[in-house]
Structure 1
Amino acid sequence: MYSNHQDQQILPGDFFLPFGGRLSEDNRWVQLSYLIPWRRVEQEYSKHFSRDLRGGRAVSVRMALGALIIQEREGFSDRHLVQHITENPYLQYFIGLEAYQEEPPFDPSLLTYFRKRLGPDIINQVNEWIVQAGLQEEQNGDDDENRDEPPRESGKFDANGGSQSEVQEPPTHQGKLILDATCTPADVAYPTDLLLLNKAREKLEDILDTLHAPHKGEMKKPRDRRRQARRDYLRTAKNRKPGRSEIRRAVGRQLRYVARDLRFIEQLVQHTPLTALSRRQYRDLLVIGELYRQQREMYRLRNHRVSDRIVSIVQPDVRPIVRGKAKANVEFGWDSFNEGTTLIESVERYQERFGYYPEAILADKIYRTRENLKYCKDHGIRLSGPKLGRPPKQTDPEQKKMERQDMGERNAVEGKFGEGKRIYGLGLIRARLRQTSETVIAIQLLVLNLEKRLRLLFWLILDELFGTDFDISKVVA
């Protein structure tokens, strides 16, 4: 059951503290709570629940979204998050409680359901609302600054010698769009063929035990030779420098053990239905079947390439992505794609958000496809980088200067990626399911935008306190 919760923003002074005192309005969590449109999010969140009066009352959207924001901002685990919320009155105010309470507001297991309910679509919509609110505040600030200025007159005159006020047309091109893409690696162990086949064999042995359990004492259990298979695996796994031929022999043995277990499972299914398996076991069985097919094909062809290669049984959606970076040549994320195909969509979203196209697009060479160049030319947009084809013998100094300037400005998005990976967890996604992983990534991007607005709010407060001559660089230093 879901009913409309209180969506009014209570003041910090109204938050009841049993030990006396009051919350400070300058606290970061209090300021962050003012930046999120809780009422609009409540309307979107309530669509995922029925209005049936039966059952328990669902947690409010402020508590669900607020808890996820705290978790990604501070890097807490599920259990540690609930502990910190229970101990901190500011965190309790942020998630919408009206008074301090010593009991945990929810069980840590509910965070998984929060991530499933608040999918990436809702989080991205909240992110868009926050960006629109920031743009509206900037526009209102500009209007306030220009309110006392006298109206400007153009230098044009009509036939009678009278001046005509200049009619300002809305701009068609303004600002710059910086585009780039990055990989958010999943938290998986580095996969090897031998390790994957050994894990598959162990999971199949558990499935064999489950299917044979109802017929224990009545039917002879299949001989899966798990002890011998374990010894064969450890003989190579504990070798510090095994040769290629030794690794290939070990992989071949594990492939035969997996094939043997799969045949035994087919025989046991005739006596025990697959419904006796748990959901996780049934899912693992399907994944292992595809994993065995891929590994057998690579073993037969003597290569390490196959389409949609599975590198984790627990997370079968994770794929190896060749990045060519100095730190790691291969990273493990979700399906890779050519980010150059997203340029047109990004430009159209820019025009939808601001009402005009950008003057220039700052991107790397992968975006400079013929389709993108033609699109930018038709819309009067400059795409950074050299022209396609053979480079000219004599380079234009102005062109080289512009390219260096574009590269310097484009470093901003690289720095933002680094901030998200070092501080907010984009460098390692610990969620298991693909849906929850996408939600975690969307929340981390939301936190990045909230932090930027919080910094701008801090600068405005300092400007009001110290005047227009205040230099923020002195405080940062």
Structure 2
Amino acid sequence: MYRKEEQTQTPASNFELPFEGKLSEDNRWVIMADLIPWAEFEEEYSSGFSEKMGAPAKSFRMALGALIIKEKLGISDRETVEQIKENPYLQYFVGISSYINEAPFDPSMLVHFRERINAELVNKINQQMVKKMLEKTSYPSAEKKTESSEKEVSEPKNRGKLILDATCAPGDISYPTDLGLLNQARKQTEKIIDFLYEQILDQLDKKPRTYREIAKKDYLEVAKKRRVSQKDRRKAIKKQLQYIKRNLSHIDQLIVSGASLESLSKRQHKMLLVVAEVYRQKLWLYENKKQSIDDRIVSLNQPHIRPIVRGKAGKAVEFGAKLSASYFDGYVFLDHISWDNFNESGDLKAQVEAFKNYTGYYPESVHVDKIYRTRENRAWCKERGIRISGSPLGRPQKNISKEKKKQALDDERIRNSIEGKFGQGKRRFSLNRVMAKLSHTSLTAIAMTFLVMNLSTHLSRLLSAFLCLLLKNTPFFRSNMIESYI
């Protein structure tokens, strides 16, 4: 059940506190609350709830605000609730009209918030929020249109620089190995056998033998070695495959004897399906002596995660979601995200068209790395008057002018800005290790990182503008500027 409330924003000066004083208008949470379009997406969020049945759900502002607080502060779900309970500014940010000395919701609600607010909705909020930021920071002179500019409305010229790149958001899993995954799969089958056997304990004379102690000993004999030969590894993998095959046949026999798969929990049933698929993949790899297979599972608890071959220094393969992003005017947007590996060069056209739909004109130049510079993409950009960065195709030129060298150097410097954004997301925020376990909640967490990065960018710009204004009005600073010009 969802009860709609009036979207009247309580002014920060009217926020009631149990003690004397008012909230500061210059506080970062008050500023961010004014930037986020809460009311515009309330209807889309509430469409998933019933108006008559169920308990009243938390508001859209409280759900999205809690996720922003968690990502901004880099804390856990429990700590997020504690921070909201203690901080009146955070309570104002999530839409509470007066200070309360109790938790507004249980920490487990953040899981539901991530399920209700999907990545697509977060991207829409991010785009509307950035548009609002750009309107606030635009100069008044830019809004005035001359007669010549009015004539150019029908055919807008290319403006701005669009930067494109792709990266990987690793999931929170241990480094997968074939032997380690098979050992985990064997343990899961043993737990399922124990559970099913308890249901028909009176109908069977003896419990099916799983040889779990011997299987554990065989695994540790190889896993504890610092260096393992290929022959010993294949021998250990073969043994674990045989143990899993025997356990799966025991599960089939228990079902025939009267045990019911319906008694398994949703988690156990999913794990059984994952284990069967892992067994099939590892058996095929072992018999065919191959190193790769399509849709390879690398984690039992998160079977949606796939290996992403990146070829980076120190990390040839990453395990998580691959994403492509676009960057302009200091803000970054999530354009494409997938658990499967993809060629990011195929996203260039859609990203440029999205830039035009967002701004109303094509970019003057597109700054990308070598993988984007295909013949098809070059021809497509040339038709629309867009300059694509990088050297032309064909044999390298011997005599290059200074202007072209300078332009190539400037293009690389410009492209570094999106690399810096990826670094910010992975070092300052949670893009380097996505802690969410489900597929859809992980995508929401990744999209939230880009939204919070744009909020942080706008706050830093406001701070820089305030410091510049403060320094210009300082007599010491003004006198030093005059002396430097003299």
Same fold (TM over 0.5): yes
Render the CA deviation track for 1:146-205: whole Å, top value 9, x for unaligned.
Answer: 69xxx79xxxxxxxxxxxx88641332111111111111111100011110010001111
Counterpart residue number, 1:221: 207
Q: 1:326 — aligned with what?
A: 313
Change (3 A) 1:6 1:455: farther
Confirm whether residue 16 of structure 1 aligns to residue 3 of structure 2: no
Paired residues of 1:8 and 1:39 also in contact (CA < 8 A): no
Q: What corresponds to 1:456 in structure 2?
A: 461
Report the more deviating stretch, 68-77 or 3-12. Answer: 3-12
Which of the numbers 418, 442, 466 marks the counterpart of 2:423?
418
User: What residue in structure 1 maps to residue 407 of structure 2?
Assistant: 402
Residues 132-152 of structure 1: per-residue CA shift (max 9 Å, x gap): 2123234463347x69xxx79
Corresponding residue number in structure 2 for 1:230: 216
Write the deviation string for residues 208-259 of structure 1: whole angstroms up to 9, x where unpaired.
1111111113312211111111111112222222222222211111110011
The CA distance in 2 between the partners of 1:21 and 1:327, in whole Å, is 53
State the percentage of identical aligned residues.
47
- Pair 1:308 & 2:295 matched: yes
Per the TM alignment, residue 464 of structure 1 is displaced from its structure 2 partner at its CA by: 5.3
Residue in 2 that maps onto 1:257: 243
1:180 matched to 2:165? The reply is yes
Provide the residue aligned with 2:96 in structure 1.
97
Which residue does the alignment assign to 2:390?
385
Count of matched residue positions in the alignment of Structure 1 and Structure 2:
455
Consecutive aligned runs of 4 or more in structure 1 exceeding 6 Å deviation: 468-471
Which letter does structure 1 place at the counterpart of 2:385? Answer: G
- Aligned match for 1:194, one of 147, 161, 179: 179
Do 2:35 and 2:133's aligned partners in 1 also have CA atoms closer than 8 Å? Answer: no
Equivalent residue for 2:335? Answer: none
User: What letter is aligned with 1:371?
Assistant: E
Contact 1:210 1:276 (C-alpha < 8 Å) held by counterparts: no
d(CA) in 1 for partners of 2:150, 2:352 = 27
1:76 and 1:306 map into 2 onto residues whose CA distance is 37
Moved more, 345-354 or 268-277: 268-277
The 5 A counterparts of 1:14-413 are 14-52=14-52, 54-139=53-138, 141-143=140-142, 168-170=151-153, 171-219=156-204, 220-270=206-256, 271-333=258-320, 334-413=339-418
Cα distance in 1 for partners of 2:234, 2:150 equals: 77
Q: 1:122 and 1:323 mapped to 2: Cα distance?
A: 28
Find the residue that maps to 2:432 and give its secondary structure.
Answer: coil
Measured against aligned partners, the alpha-carbon deviations of 1:433-473 in whole angstroms (never above 9, x if no partner) come to 110011001111000111112222334444555558999xx
Provide the TM-score with structure 1 as the length reference.
0.91
Distance 2:426 2:274 in 1: 30
Deviation at 1:40, TM superposition (A): 0.8
Pair 204,376 (structure 1): closer, same or farther in 2 beyond 3 Å: same
Distance 2:47 2:125 in 1: 15
Q: Kindly tell me: are residues 167 and 239 of structure 1, through their superposed partners in 2, closer, same or farther at Cα, counting changes over 3 Å?
A: closer
Cα-to-partner distance string for 1:337-368 (whole Å, 9 max, x where unaligned): 11100100011011111111111111011001
Instruction: Supply the distance in 1 between the matched residues of 2:80 and 2:314 (Cα, whole angstroms).
Output: 31
Q: Distance between the aligned counterparts of 1:3 and 1:140, measured in 2? A: 40
TM-superposed deviation, 1:392? 2.8
The structure carrying a bigger strand percent of its residues is: 2
Correspondence for 1:431: 436
